[in-house]
Structure 1
Amino acid sequence: MAKKGNASTMDDVDRLFECFKCGISPPQSAVRERKRRKSKLNQENSARKVSASPCTPSLGSAEQGKETPNNAQLSVGKRVSTMVKVGKFSRGKQISPVIFYGSPHGIPPKRPLSLLRLLHEIRIDLSEQEKSNLRTEVWATFPRQDEAVKFAKGHANARVFSYQDHYSGQRRYLASTYEEFWKRYKIMDSKLRHHYEVIQEGFPCHLYFDLEFNKRDNVGRDGDEMVDLLISVILEALLEKYSINGNQDWVVELDSSTEEKFSRHLIMRIPKTAFKDNSHVGAFVAEICSRIASARERDKRFETLYVKNASTSAESPGQLFVDTAVYSRNRCFRLALSSKAGKASFLLPTGRFKCKEMGEVDMFMASLICNMEVDCEKFLVCKMELDCVKTLHFETEVTSNFGRYCGAPQENTYISDVSTTYLTGKSPFPSLDEFIESIASTRNASGKIRSWYWFSEYGLIIYSMSRNRYCERIGREHKSNHVMYVVDMRRAAYYQKCYDPDCKDR
């Protein structure tokens, strides 16, 4: 046994620590308690009795043999008392000399068995916590939005919702998964549904609109025609800015209009595509509004998209019926089948476009702004140029293995199993990125990479630049066209090309 113990460099406690860190069950030898068998205890008691009664008589043994019964009984009582005391302390926990005096020859001291049990309990607690974080039945309410957001971040697939008290209108927040939320939401009394989706900051989302106007101040307006005209402008902008050929079947249309107010929500679900977050949606909607304002001057049809309210004067040109204030961070957007507290108008599908033949559950899931499809591949980017706040910048970001989005936005990923990859941001070659930006920076202009194309079969990467239009061929900047750099990885060479028609083929 001693030889076996010397061969091992780790004691039981050290092995337990190793198992604890690796997440596997500890060996039984590391947690077992030493139990005394009854036979062993009996042998020890017998040995004590023998030592207390010597076989050979000592001096005065004759006198001891003459003890009175009372003296003999007293003597036996003392022996029994001594044996009980010895047995009492021997059965308790004993401090090892190694622990008391320290470790000889550098051998680590044994840790108390209570510490082993504590570590074992910690492992169980951590395991239970992990199971709790991964469970699908997530449902927790909070008085404040930041508390709900913090909780949702710690639970897979959890999202944040808001709801109003039916009587007081007070708003609270809850965190749950889409599936769990729908299971409870669908069986609620419809009169008590006053729920909103929280469009969390930094989360990918679909293109959405909030459309409204006062019917009494805008008599004769046809809401369906106004929506159709707006959708035509949206599809035109998607084609021009992102090369996306859209159609009306992507649109989820919900209505909660009354006799006094026109109110609709539009959610456009582009297949395998979403906007990077709702701030980019807001910038794209600003582009839509700008297009309508420009088209209004030459096409009288767009006059119908401008409405008046009670505070608008007769000379005022009116305002667009698109609400541009719904793209703020952590915005609450009313859910399908819900009404505002104190109101009786429910947000219901119109039966047009995508909702023509959809069931209730499919319609509800399709109406969620941040409910991404598993096969989402692209993020649409629309943001202000840093060097010119009046200029919008449009991009497309590609992502792989998107899955269901459940956290902060994922970084750009390089797709290696396709021959051509288009991405914005950093390429797979960060040092090359720095070199291209350095040679593209001239005078006071700091060139930046707008996007890049990687042709893996040919070992070519093309950088499309922004902020600097300087052309090496003509020795000056182009007025409107950008330049590009082509890097041949196999030849270790690069050259510049232009988008300008005069330079494009040279």
Structure 2
Amino acid sequence: MSMMDTISTEKFYGNKIQKRKFNSNVNWVKTYRVMPSHILGPTQYWEEFHRQVDALTAAAECSTKQDTLCIFAYQRPSDGSRRFVVAHPEVYWWYYKAKPQEERSSYEVIPKDSPCWLYLDLEYLVELNPLCNGSRMTKTLIDIIRVYLLTHYHLLCDRNNFLILDSTSSTKFSRHVIFTMKDMAFKDNLHVGKFIKTIYNDIMLYLNSDTQSHGILSQFNKADIEELLVETNHGKKLFVDNGVYTKNRQFRLYLSTKWGKQSYLTVSADCIHNPVNKCKEKELGVFLDSLISYFPNKQNLILLEFFNRSDVKTQLYSKIPIQYNNMDDNQISPYPEIDEYVSNLVDPGKIRIAKYSDKTKILRYEIYGNR
């Protein structure tokens, strides 16, 4: 056989090769050019689901140390119904960027109990706040958060650690702000929520009191802090949405718009963000940096915990013990030490079923994800 001859996949692997079946009849990937694959590239895994819970399970089971899979939700242009996709972010980006702009209505699902970056959803109605300067307000809030991070975690950061995405329209100021720092994350978005809500409450208490001393906030001009208050249909509030820190939250993606609208999230003109994911394709780097829960190398992560202002901790992700009580009953045996040993032995594979026979004293494991 000459070096120029080609061998079909069927001949190379045999006739038993199987193609992955999708759990949804709707598969918009099929309408676009297939992403080229190479040996050092991300896994081409792609599954679509009707239910979010199924997507969360698949992402947890099929992610490996080499390939971290994420959950994305997209809305169908026809009726706005949502489908859930499990894929590597680079693979999702390949097909996502090819979609017509008006069909880009996608969200990242932030899994509960998963590391995530600090993120903010900032908004106010333009009609009720015609004199507000959203850019200046964003900078003030970022600077306040920087001082809180320094005070509670001794973490020194700059404005270029904050990625600012903007989808402001003629009727509504709207921004997403994401704090990005290599190998640094909050333990999960509930801890982010407690941290941001503490800052929110501190600001409200400071502005509603006669005192001029507050420690952290007294380092700022009080008039600048007062600018963060906006008029709403329910009275004055800060322009921070505190409702985005719930379990398995869906957070709109870079370049996406809400279904039926034309307000796309793009990099703000006043953003001076320093990329964490440096890619040849600049837009891909922005996309990866904008993902709240994407950390391809979790073992090096330093996790920030915030229970309250007097209970603040940091720890390495790799030091968090394995919680076997969160596993399904069929994944554990009466011997958790052996389970852990086998689990480490077959990594990046996982234990699907552990079977123990009292009669024969044999412990049998069924493994997947490892040849």
1:214 aligned onto 2:132: no
User: 1:378: which partner in 2?
Assistant: 302
Deviation of residue 168 (structure 1)? 1.1
Mapped partners of 2:83, 2:284: distance in 1: 24
Check conservation: 2:105, 2:256, Cα contact below 8 A: yes
Check conservation: 2:256, 2:264, Cα contact below 8 A: yes
* 1:154 alignment partner, SS class: helix
Q: Deviations over 1:365-402 (max 9, x none)?
A: 11000122537431000115xxxxxx6521111245xx
Between 1 and 2, higher relative CO (CA 8 Å, sep ≥ 6) is seen in 2
1:353 aligned onto 2:272: yes
Check conservation: 1:349, 1:355, Cα contact below 8 A: no
User: 2:196: which partner in 1?
Assistant: 285
Classify 1:398/1:153 alpha carbon distance in 2 versus 1 (closer, same or farther; 3 Å).
Answer: closer
* 2:115 alignment partner, SS class: coil
1:301 aligned onto 2:301: no
1:411 aligned onto 2:335: no
1:365 aligned onto 2:284: no
1:204 aligned onto 2:122: no
Deviation of residue 154 (structure 1)? 2.1
Instruction: Give 1:332's match in structure 2, choosing from 250, 254, 264.
Output: 250
Greater helix fraction, Structure 1 or Structure 2: 1
Deviation of residue 195 (structure 1)? 0.2
Structure 1 segments unaligned to the other structure (5+ residues): 1-123, 130-134, 313-317, 385-390, 401-409, 414-506
Mapped partners of 2:257, 2:51: distance in 1: 21
Q: How does 1:18-37 map to 2 (within 5 A)?
A: none
Mapped partners of 2:69, 2:285: distance in 1: 19
Mapped partners of 1:376, 1:307: distance in 2: 40
Check conservation: 1:397, 1:412, Cα contact below 8 A: no
Classify 1:145/1:399 alpha carbon distance in 2 versus 1 (closer, same or farther; 3 Å).
Answer: closer
1:139 aligned onto 2:62: no
Check conservation: 1:252, 1:367, Cα contact below 8 A: yes
Q: How does 1:230-245 map to 2 (within 5 A)?
A: 230-245=141-156
Check conservation: 2:254, 2:266, Cα contact below 8 A: yes
Deviation of residue 355 (structure 1)? 6.2
1:192 aligned onto 2:192: no
Mapped partners of 1:347, 1:245: distance in 2: 28
User: 1:61: which partner in 2?
Assistant: none
Give the number of aligned pairs.
265
Deviation of residue 174 (structure 1)? 1.2
Check conservation: 1:202, 1:277, Cα contact below 8 A: yes
User: 1:472: which partner in 2?
Assistant: none
Classify 1:202/1:275 alpha carbon distance in 2 versus 1 (closer, same or farther; 3 Å).
Answer: same
Check conservation: 1:399, 1:412, Cα contact below 8 A: no
Mapped partners of 1:354, 1:319: distance in 2: 27
Deviation of residue 125 (structure 1)? 9.4
Q: Which amino acid aligns with 2:315?
A: E
* 1:254 alignment partner, SS class: strand
Q: Which amino acid aligns with 2:240?
A: V
The structure whose Rg is larger is 1
Check conservation: 2:110, 2:293, Cα contact below 8 A: yes
Mapped partners of 1:392, 1:167: distance in 2: 50
Classify 1:148/1:377 alpha carbon distance in 2 versus 1 (closer, same or farther; 3 Å).
Answer: closer
1:343 aligned onto 2:250: no
User: 1:458: which partner in 2?
Assistant: none
Q: Which amino acid aligns with 2:60?
A: K
* 1:264 alignment partner, SS class: strand
Mapped partners of 1:200, 1:336: distance in 2: 18
Deviation of residue 162 (structure 1)? 0.6
Classify 1:335/1:355 alpha carbon distance in 2 versus 1 (closer, same or farther; 3 Å).
Answer: farther
Please give the TM-score of this superposition, normalised by the length of structure 2. 0.67
Q: Which amino acid aligns with 1:258?
A: S
Check conservation: 1:337, 1:346, Cα contact below 8 A: yes
Instruction: Give 1:150's match in structure 2, choosing from 46, 57, 66.
Output: 57
Mapped partners of 2:167, 2:184: distance in 1: 28
* 1:308 alignment partner, SS class: strand
Instruction: Give 2:241's match in structure 1, choosing from 311, 316, 323.
Output: 323
Deviation of residue 282 (structure 1)? 0.5
